[in-house]
Amino acid sequence: MNRFTLPRDLYYGKGSLQILKTLKGHKAIVVVGGGSMKKFGFLEKVENYLKEANFEVQLFENVEPDPSVETVMRGAEAMRAFQPDWIIAMGGGSPIDAAKAMWAFYEYPQTTFEDLITPFNFPELRQKARFLAIPSTSGTATEVTAFSVITDYAKGIKYPLADFNITPDIAVVDPDLAETMPQKLTAHTGMDALTHAIEAYVSTLHSPFTDPLALKAIAMVFDYLTDSYQGNMEAREQMHYAQCMAGMAFSNALLGITHSMAHKTGAAFSTGHIPHGCANAIYLPYVIQFNAKNASKRYAEIAKSIGLQGNNDKELVDALCNKIDEYNVKLNIPKTLKDFGISEKEFNDKVKNIAQLAVGDACTGSNPRPITPKEMEQLLICTYYGTKIDF
């Protein structure tokens, strides 16, 4: 038996934040990040709308990027003291991810991260509160997904949490909030969304329910991302919806090894963090060439759906990779890890270990072609030097 789960309601369009005026309940805790929502006046709007709906409102501010176990525990404690019946999470991926984990510890104080990391093993939520998410960036789609990532800095590990219990009840996809994204973030989050949709489409768990969402999201990213990057706000609005649809697809079909590689290389090098979406954008064409051995028909379907030409599946797969390369150039994303600025020595010292970790990542299981640590190492080396995949 399979399951397909999305939020009960999705409100979208400019000004859709106003839906908060009609929310039914008594107490709402608003979980936010470091200040851009406050700076641009959206936090105040949310507070005012909730008060108009007769809510008692409490804020939980300053959730950091890559939220920590400590922040989650502090948030859960604040919730236990305040007893909200609505959790309102707003901002980039981080505050929404953190609030999802706070929710679990609010309702089940005795639970542990060790209990929660077994996929699809959460206790039944919504005993105390329901969850509304408002994204301000156009990439992670955590407002509609069953996922959250929390970092244990003391142990140096990331807890990927996955369970349909943490799929929000309501998502408010208001493009006004995405207008605040800086240019680079627009490029990276947009390519993250493209990667979500492509990986979901070729995933071993793809279904008739996820395929249309993935294909439409891919078409929309190719139609709107470069204009959004150049500051066109109508295109920015369409990207906000496209990333959300990509999220609906991958929350139910899962991802593949582009994400496994991005997860395990993001913080691996001393030359600096590789932003998640940027890493995905670099790896995606190489992964497509590697996976094409098993999934060329699916990639060819993607290529055809966006009007690319080719006489056979191989030509169509190549056309899709060329198209992604072309977008990376337009978005100022490098072609290789070397061009990104990763030191050759450090890369060579670490690649074997990273390959092992990437094979063990939660996203590897649904990749259309199985991969060994040795092959992963070869693949990573190709992404460093920009060499062709011939294995």
Look at residues 228, 180, 232, 243 and name the one whose alpha carbon lies nearest to residue 34.
180
- If the CB atoms of residues 145 and 378 are measured against Fe ion, the closer one turns out to be 145
Q: How far is the CB of 195 from Fe ion (least distance, A)?
A: 6
Strand positions, DSSP E, 36-137: 56-60, 86-91, 130-135
Look at residues 233, 193, 231 and name the one whose alpha carbon lies nearest to residue 213.
193
Phi, psi of 9, rounded to the nearest 5 degrees:
-135, 145
- If the CB atoms of residues 143 and 192 are measured against Fe ion, the closer one turns out to be 192
Tokens of 250: 């991958």
Phi, psi of 91, rounded to the nearest 5 degrees:
130, -155
Look at residues 228, 242, 236 and name the one whose alpha carbon lies nearest to residue 197.
242
Q: How far is the CB of 196 from Fe ion (least distance, A)?
A: 6
Radius of gyration of the chain (CA): 20
User: How many C-beta neighbours within 10 Å does residue 338 have?
Assistant: 15
- If the CB atoms of residues 163 and 313 are measured against Fe ion, the closer one turns out to be 163
Beta bridge partners of 27: 56
- If the CB atoms of residues 66 and 192 are measured against Fe ion, the closer one turns out to be 192
The residue to which tokens 């309702």 are assigned: 107
Q: How far is the CB of 251 from Fe ion (least distance, A)?
A: 11
CB 191, CB 281: distance < 8 Å: yes
Look at residues 93, 97, 91 and name the one whose alpha carbon lies nearest to residue 69.
97
Helix axes 233-253, 211-229, angle to 10 degrees: 150
| DSSP secondary structure letter of residue 307 | T
Look at residues 272, 275, 92, 93 and name the one whose alpha carbon lies nearest to residue 187.
275
Q: How far is the CB of 52 from Fe ion (least distance, A)?
A: 35
- If the CB atoms of residues 176 and 192 are measured against Fe ion, the closer one turns out to be 192
Can you give the binding site for Fe ion, defined by CB under 5 A?
Answer: 192
Strand positions, DSSP E, the chain: 9-12, 27-31, 56-60, 86-91, 130-135, 147-152, 157-162, 170-173
Tokens of 241: 């919806």
Q: How far is the CB of 218 from Fe ion (least distance, A)?
A: 15
The residue to which tokens 């890890």 are assigned: 337
Look at residues 278, 297, 286 and name the one whose alpha carbon lies nearest to residue 342.
278
User: How many C-beta neighbours within 10 Å does residue 124 have?
Assistant: 8
CB 167, CB 146: distance < 8 Å: yes
Tokens of 90: 């707003």
Q: How far is the CB of 287 from Fe ion (least distance, A)?
A: 13
Q: How far is the CB of 250 from Fe ion (least distance, A)?
A: 8
- If the CB atoms of residues 97 and 318 are measured against Fe ion, the closer one turns out to be 97
